[in-house]
Structure 1
Amino acid sequence: MIGKRITHRTVDGVQIPGTWRHAFIRNGRYFLTDLFIYADGLIDCWGLVTVEEFEEKLRTGWVATSFPDGAEASAHDLARWKFSGSRSRLTPELVVAEVRDTIDQLNKRPDSTGRCLAAVDDFLADRTEENRAAAHTAFMAIPFSRRRYALGDMDSKDWPLRVLVAGPGGRTYLPSDPPVSQENYARALAYFEDRARWTAEYEARVPVDGPEASYAPAVHLHHPDPKRPVADPGRLGLRNGYPAPITVGEVVYPSVTHAYWALSVTQPDVRSAITAAETAAAACELAAGATRREGWEDVRIAVMTRLLRAKYDQHPELAEILLATDGATLVHDDLNSTYWGDNGGRGRNWAGRLLELVRSELHMRRLGVPGL
């Protein structure tokens, strides 16, 4: 299970998604460490290896699943101990199966559980013994440690599954289970019929507050900023450095970028030079050599929000361009900042996120929400 354990490694500028799990590596003594698994099929067990090479690491005990009494172990800089009467549910085969499932999940492909449930759907649609046998094979291919979670139901666990694929009179994989009675088989069938109804209702539900994610394609606001206004700027006009003058107080700034950097400094001469800079890029360069206003990092988001509101209030034609992006995610590049820019997924994209906020405010104003 990946859960919230999400990481990545970067290859040629591309992020390869991954996750991790705990493992013991035997290098002289046993070390409790993290095993990193990536979507491209590589596993980091103190060195990147393929799945096949990982199997060899398990076979030789480099990645350990059993621990002899008296063997020394260490959790780096935390503790050291010796094993005594240790027990582990893992086997090399089980670890490999779980890792293969994890790689499928990282690639958003059906893992062994997904393949099993698809085979069960085939059987329920056409209840032949051939389809039951296929479902049984797919169920047994789920790692033993994951079978109880296959239905995502911790009350029933995998009981309906193991009864369904065994069939009336059959035996499940658990030796303690009695032969499947007709009554229990009927209960299992009823469970899957109810499950299909629950699933259909869940998928058809409409969130009370609207969609949780935009269906509109993301809009990428590429660098660099233009040096002068154009007749029909399109989405280029949404760049913070686009030359759309804004009035803040008694000062007219050539762009949001000019205003932001001018307000970030306290020296009047530097502020004037930034305001008079020929381009947004030149304003950034001048600001880079100046000292920021004390506490600037605590107010910069609020300042940028007000500047963006001023831009779209004072330039209705640009506000229409922003509104036309509907609910799209706005991805803003900023070569000078991973704070304001997305920059290939390496930045926080605050400029894009604040544009989405201002867009929502424009929609609210147009809608005329009472009391606001």
Structure 2
Amino acid sequence: MVWKRPTYRLVDGERVGGVWCHVWVKGHSGYYVDDLFVYADGLLSCGEAFDLHGLRQRLGSGKIALRDPERPVPERPAPTPRWSARYPEPLTNQGFLGEVADEIEALNGRPTTSDRCWEAIRRYQSDPAEDNRLRIREAYLAIPAHRRVFVLGDMDRQDIPLRQLVTDIGEPVGGDGPVATEQMHSEVLEYFNAGAQGAQRERERRDVLYADDPVQACAAAITLHERLNPPVEPPEHLDLGVLRNEFPAPFTYAGQTYPTIIHGYWASAVAARSDHDRIRDAATVREAHEAGGRCTLRPDWATARTAAMADLLRAKFTQHPERAEILLSTADARISYTGVSESPFWTDRGPHEGRNWVGRLLELVRAELLQPRE
């Protein structure tokens, strides 16, 4: 099943993360496609709310189906031999229930059946005793059958090494394959060890290539929300709101003084000097913005605007140390600059819209402010 993300629902003001996929739902005149939502707290929703047990009942009764029941499924010949099959087993109701349970575990940051299988593999690598091999078999068989071929992430061999290892010595692999031997189990252990060594080499290589990345996690992200009625004069008590472009912070740039970044940006954008002066002297942020939007802009503005915004922000924060201290107080947090008044180029509007360039430039200016202090 193809799962799509992210989604969420609110419970007492708290976000509960989720994922969703398409299923077939039985209606009055036949089956139709609908969305099945799965949330971290175990609640499922498809027209109505239920839990994993409710999904089992609906799958059993045919109220929810994994494919269109009104369309015949073409029969696929059984693989020959079965032990070396290189494609997933068919999706079943039981397998889908296991898949949903895994999604709930993943949403909560807990190990899935695949994760637990890998834990058993690593335990066997450190101690290849028989009881640890049996733990691998138990963990492997707990993975939904249609997902087992993907557990090792090996496009060439799929899960064949696991099929070999979980087969007892003297028994045919998969029921129709070669007889499992101690040599076969040893070769599978070598396969896992070689993979672990390769992964370790890759981690060491990345540590060298990405040595400039922070060792500790970054500070929590900060969101700067737009305020529809910003003050005309600087407020007495300063907070993160002063990082916004519409907040008053008179500064000088290129020989001109502007009340806000908005005034400076739009005055710099227009082609005519008379328009520049009119925007610079506008009484409010809104007047400056709308006046600039109605004027003829410089022909190169689309490509020059990012550098111009960076220069304006530098001027603002280097000329206002108290505002610079507030920007520096955000440490290394990602800055999300939201809003609808400024272009999506400048603002953060979620995963599908908005490039958040003001947020990025604030992070750049923050780093530049820190550089001389070191």
Name the TM-score class by shorter chain. Answer: 0.7 to 0.9
CA contact (8 A) 2:221 2:333 kept: yes
- 1:220 equivalent in structure 2: 222
- 1:133 equivalent in structure 2: 134
Alignment: residue pair count:
347
CA contact (8 A) 2:263 2:289 kept: no
Q: Alignment partner for residue 304 of structure 1, among 301, 309, 326?
A: 309
The answer on 1:186 being equivalent to 2:192 is: no
- 2:293 equivalent in structure 1: 292
- 2:156 equivalent in structure 1: 155
CA deviation profile, 1:184-235 (whole Å, cap 9, x unmatched): 111011112112222333333326254399832135365667853779x686
The answer on 1:352 being equivalent to 2:354 is: no
Deviates more, 1:57-66 or 1:358-367: 358-367
Q: Using the alignment, how far apart are the partners of 1:84 and 1:169 within structure 2?
A: 37
Change (3 A) 1:344 1:356: same
Task: Tell me the secondary structure at the aligned position of residue 37 of structure 1.
Answer: strand
Q: Using the alignment, how far apart are the partners of 1:331 and 1:105 within structure 2?
A: 26
How far did 1:355 drift? 1.2
Q: Using the alignment, how far apart are the partners of 1:46 and 1:119 within structure 2?
A: 39
Q: Report the residue type matching 2:167 in the other structure.
A: A
The answer on 1:200 being equivalent to 2:206 is: no
CA deviation profile, 1:228-279 (whole Å, cap 9, x unmatched): 3779x686664434543222445311232443466689997998588464xx
Q: Report the residue type matching 1:45 in the other structure.
A: C
Q: Using the alignment, how far apart are the partners of 1:309 and 1:124 within structure 2?
A: 55
Q: Alignment partner for residue 250 of structure 2, among 236, 245, 253?
A: 245
How far did 1:51 drift? 1.9
Change (3 A) 1:42 1:212: farther
CA contact (8 A) 1:2 1:19 kept: no
- 2:85 equivalent in structure 1: none
Task: Tell me the secondary structure at the aligned position of residue 115 of structure 1.
Answer: helix
Deviates more, 1:151-160 or 1:307-316: 307-316
CA deviation profile, 1:310-355 (whole Å, cap 9, x unmatched): 3245457756765675643123455966945558999844431221
- 2:10 equivalent in structure 1: 11
Deviates more, 1:26-35 or 1:144-153: 26-35
- 1:90 equivalent in structure 2: 91
Task: Tell me the secondary structure at the aligned position of residue 252 of structure 2.
Answer: strand
- 1:43 equivalent in structure 2: 44
How far did 1:304 drift? 3.3
- 2:110 equivalent in structure 1: 109
- 1:211 equivalent in structure 2: 213
Q: Report the residue type matching 2:234 in the other structure.
A: R
Change (3 A) 1:14 1:202: farther
Task: Tell me the secondary structure at the aligned position of residue 139 of structure 1.
Answer: helix
Q: Using the alignment, how far apart are the partners of 1:8 and 1:287 within structure 2?
A: 38
How far did 1:114 drift? 0.3
- 1:370 equivalent in structure 2: none
Change (3 A) 1:346 1:187: closer
Q: Report the residue type matching 1:141 in the other structure.
A: A
Q: Using the alignment, how far apart are the partners of 1:295 and 1:147 within structure 2?
A: 62
Task: Tell me the secondary structure at the aligned position of residue 143 of structure 2.
Answer: coil
CA contact (8 A) 1:262 1:271 kept: yes
CA contact (8 A) 1:214 1:327 kept: no
Change (3 A) 1:65 1:219: closer
- Structure 1: stretches of 5+ with no match in the other structure: 72-81, 368-372
Change (3 A) 1:83 1:19: same
Change (3 A) 1:198 1:324: farther
The answer on 1:26 being equivalent to 2:26 is: yes
CA deviation profile, 1:48-107 (whole Å, cap 9, x unmatched): 432222212211112224666xx3xxxxxxxxxx54646792221111111111222233
CA contact (8 A) 2:266 2:292 kept: no
How far did 1:112 drift? 0.6
Q: Report the residue type matching 2:134 in the other structure.
A: A
CA contact (8 A) 1:262 1:275 kept: no
Change (3 A) 1:40 1:272: farther
Change (3 A) 1:325 1:222: closer
CA contact (8 A) 2:24 2:68 kept: no
Q: Using the alignment, how far apart are the partners of 1:62 and 1:295 within structure 2?
A: 61
TM normalised by structure 2 equals 0.72
- Structure 2: stretches of 5+ with no match in the other structure: 77-88
Q: Using the alignment, how far apart are the partners of 2:75 and 2:273 within structure 1?
A: 68
Change (3 A) 1:203 1:138: same
Q: Report the residue type matching 1:330 in the other structure.
A: I
Residue pairs, 1:353-372, within 5 angstroms: 353-359=360-366
- 1:256 equivalent in structure 2: 261
Change (3 A) 1:116 1:154: same
Instruction: Name the % identity.
Output: 35
How far did 1:143 drift? 0.7
Q: Using the alignment, how far apart are the partners of 1:341 and 1:213 within structure 2?
A: 29
Task: Tell me the secondary structure at the aligned position of residue 292 of structure 1.
Answer: helix
